[in-house]
Amino acid sequence: MKKVFIVLVTLVMLSSLAIAGCAKEVAPGVPAVPAKVITWKVSGHGPATDMSQIYCDKMAAAVTEASGGRLVFKEFVGGSVAPAHEELDAVDKGTLDACYTCPMYNIDKWKAAGLFSGRPGGLPGECLRVWFNYGGGADLFNKMMGPDYNALTFPGALSPLPSEVWAHSKVPINSMADATGLSMRAIGDGAAILGRIGVAVVTITGGEIYEAMQTGVIDAFEYSTPALNWHMKFQELAKYVIFSETRNPSDPQCFFVNKKSWDALPDGLKQLVQDEMDKWSQAEQEYLVYNDIEATQNFIGYGCDVSHLPKDVEQALLAEALKFYDENAAKEPPIYKEILESMRAFKKAYDTQAALTTPLK
């Protein structure tokens, strides 16, 4: 009987070793794959080399790593899953679970989306992010999209780009008299407002700027931030680089998620996603500010005349922008006016604080 017992124990031990030998080995330091993996499709709105796409990819990789593989963010570039600049609609339809895109691309659905992006007289950089995160901006964006649109955003999801160069010009702009009649390329609300203060606006694509400047069709143009404009070699086209945040204080990007996908996430993973989106949207803003500082020094080193827009031109632009948006608010749905007034009230308080804390000159 004792011999039988020993044989049985030996067989059990041998079976256990055989089963263990058949198990897949896990490399040291590599965590085991969780039993249930949630996979999200996440897209930026630009090509792989676009800075916003790069930071969207960084965020996606960080979520996958920080979750230990429980939540995998599969990355896509703009235009690869949905038509370019229609990523938010793809989130609404469930084709994408999340995206990183510009609010301005959605003015076809909500005219008020333009208030968040590149609005003359709007909120610059830090002011815009603080308003979005703490001043009710994220809630107002969700209210604008409405309960039936299957997408949402949240505080920490918005990255405000630095303000754009006001203009690159062949001629100096020293006063309102110099701006009046100036042949200048501009687009969007900024073009309409510039036209109303006497600038001779020419609306052409960015790809047409070089030829238009070289042939004399235009003498000045607006395009983007200092870093991007330097990369575009605009220093070769115009001697004068004129700065002011009044025309385009920020053209932000924002993360959006599909409501159903979001609701299905455990609370811990929701917090992780929000934390990583907050981290990487802030990181992009800081990186772009640094690049702009470097680019401005490059313009100076190249021999460009770098200056600030004259005060009388700024005042004329801001006064006309005030009228322009009041007119729009009178004819658009109520959410337009609600967002506009919220932004204006916050900027007034923000500017008051800044004036109190800025050293006197």
* pLDDT tens per residue, range 241-285: 999 999 999 999 999 999 999 999 999 999 999 999 999 999 999
Element at 232 (helix H, strand E): none
Query: For residues 72-90, b (16+ Cβ closer than 10 Å) or e, as one string?
Result: bbebbbbbebbeebbbbbb
Instruction: State the pLDDT confidence band at 8, using cuts at 50, 70 and 90.
Output: very low
Best CA proximity match to 354, nearest among 65, 44, 124, 178: 124
Q: How far apart are alpha carbons 62 and 313 in whole angstroms?
A: 45
The average pLDDT across 325-342 equals 98
DSSP category for residue 113 = G
| pLDDT bucket at 10, cuts 50 / 70 / 90 | very low
Kindly state the average pLDDT of the residues 121-144: 97
User: Which pLDDT score, from 0 to 100, does residue 262 have?
Assistant: 98
SS3 content of the chain, % helix, strand, coil (to 5): 55, 15, 35
CA angle 49, 55, 59 (to 5 degrees): 140
A 10 A CB-CB count for 122 gives 27
Find the length of the chain. Answer: 361
Cα three-residue angle 111-208-78, rounded to 5 degrees: 55
182: closest CA among 214, 220, 234? 220
CATH class of the structural domain 38-161+251-290: alpha beta
pLDDT tens across 177-220, in order? 999 999 999 999 999 999 999 999 999 999 999 999 999 999 99
Q: What is the pLDDT of residue 35?
A: 54
Same fold, 38-161+251-290 and 165-249+305-357: yes
The pLDDT-based confidence of 175 (bands split at 50, 70, 90) is very high
CATH of 165-249+305-357, one of 3.40.50.970, 3.40.50.2300, 3.30.420.40, 3.40.190.10: 3.40.190.10
CA 284 – CA 290 distance, rounded (Å): 10
Residue 353: pLDDT over 60: yes
Residue 339 near residue 332 (C-beta atoms within 8 A): no
Whole-angstrom distance, CA of residue 273 vs CA of residue 270 = 5
Please list, in sequence order, all residues whose beta carbon lies within 8 angstroms of the beta carbon of residue 147, skipping any fewer than 6 positions away: none
Per-domain residue ranges for the chain? 38-161+251-290, 165-249+305-357
For residue 27, pLDDT beyond 90: no
The confidence score (pLDDT) of residue 361 equals 81
- Among 22-36, 174-188, 218-232, name the one with the lowest average pLDDT: 22-36
pLDDT digits (tens, 9 = 90+) for 216-225: 999 999 999 9
Mean pLDDT calculated for residue range 34-47: 89
Q: How far apart are CA 246 and CA 350, in angstroms?
A: 16
